[in-house]
Amino acid sequence: MSVRSEDGAAKPTRRKPTATTGADPILDGSGAPKARANGAGKDGADDRREQMLRAAVDVIGERGFPDTRIADVGRRVGASSALVIYYFGTKDKLLTEALRYSEESFYSEVAQQLSSIDSARGKLEALVRFSFYEPRDSMPGSWVLWIDLWAQALRHPEVSRDREELDERWRSTVKQIVVDGLASGEFRDVDASDFAVMFCALLDGLAVQLALADSWVTADLALELCMSLASRELGFERTGDNGGKPGAAGAGRRQPAGRRNTSGASRV
């Protein structure tokens, strides 16, 4: 529901600090980093920004966006609130950039895993598995971040624009798999864009139910519902084979950290 930069989507311009010592940038009297000539310390600044993004993913995933303070994120990495604000400007922007960071991890894993699957059907099923099953690494899943982002997007135009960009990448990922399946003759003739909107809406809705620990919805059921829809709409038969990796858990896109259900999926 999935992300999405590999698809060529335009990225918003982000303000970056001009200097760092390799840990925290040198601060002036106001708490803001001082600039250094010739862009010295750029790599350190990027590393520091990434640390903050990872901390934001952790903290927002644990507490939720409304209960997360800039100071909480700064404290997690030993930085001041002023420094976090310098890098991201606002709490809303920190949320969208944290989700973007989590999504980049997802897409990197997706690209690696899908490259080993030959069929478009297998790639589509693997993508669904990546969305619902236990993460393979320590990156907290971002379904909780997505739910918070959707809530903020209702009232904040800038967040809404970022939401649209991220969702467009997810739909484009699904669309490209369908386009490839049409070209190879695996799928019957459908409008790839319309299918991507419908399929992602189903996937997103089921993932929200998983995140809310709905007693009716397990990861196994969500997978079955998504692939049953895909087989009907795209005209292929399900064989229990997902490109040579049956039952494999994926990177866990938007996967909430928390208690587990009996299917093995992670939940809030």
The pLDDT tens digits of the residues spanning 24-55 come to 332 333 333 444 334 444 567 788 999 999 99
In a domain, 90, yes or no: yes
- Residue 194 is part of a domain; what is its CATH number? 1.10.357.10
Torsion of the alpha carbons at 207, 211, 214 and 219, rounded to the nearest 10: 50
Residue 207 lies in a domain: yes
pLDDT tens, position by position, 159-179: 888 889 889 999 999 999 999
Rounded-to-integer distance, Cα 4 and Cα 178, Å:
16
146 within domain boundaries: yes
**What confidence score (pLDDT) does residue 11 get?**
37
Q: Taking 80 as the threshold, does the pLDDT of residue 129 lie above it?
A: yes
* 28, part of any domain: no
150 falls within a domain: yes
| Residue 72 covered by a domain | yes
The number of folded domains in the chain is: 1
Q: Which alpha helices (H) appear in 115-191, and where do they start and end?
A: 120-132, 143-153, 157-184
- What does the pLDDT read at residue 250? 37
Q: Report pTM.
A: 0.68
Query: Regarding predicted confidence, which is higher, 186 or 28?
Result: 186
Distances in Å between the Cα of 210 and the Cα atoms of 2, 133, 184, 266 are: 15, 10, 34, 8
Q: Which domain holds residue 142?
A: 37-234
What's the pLDDT score for residue 61?
A: 82
52: in domain: yes
pLDDT digits (tens, 9 = 90+) for 201-247: 999 999 889 888 899 999 999 999 999 999 999 999 887 544 434 34
pLDDT at 251 over 50: no
Instruction: Report the pLDDT value the prediction gives residue 135, as an integer from 0 to 100.
Output: 56
| Within a domain: 245 | no
Model pLDDT, residue 190: 97
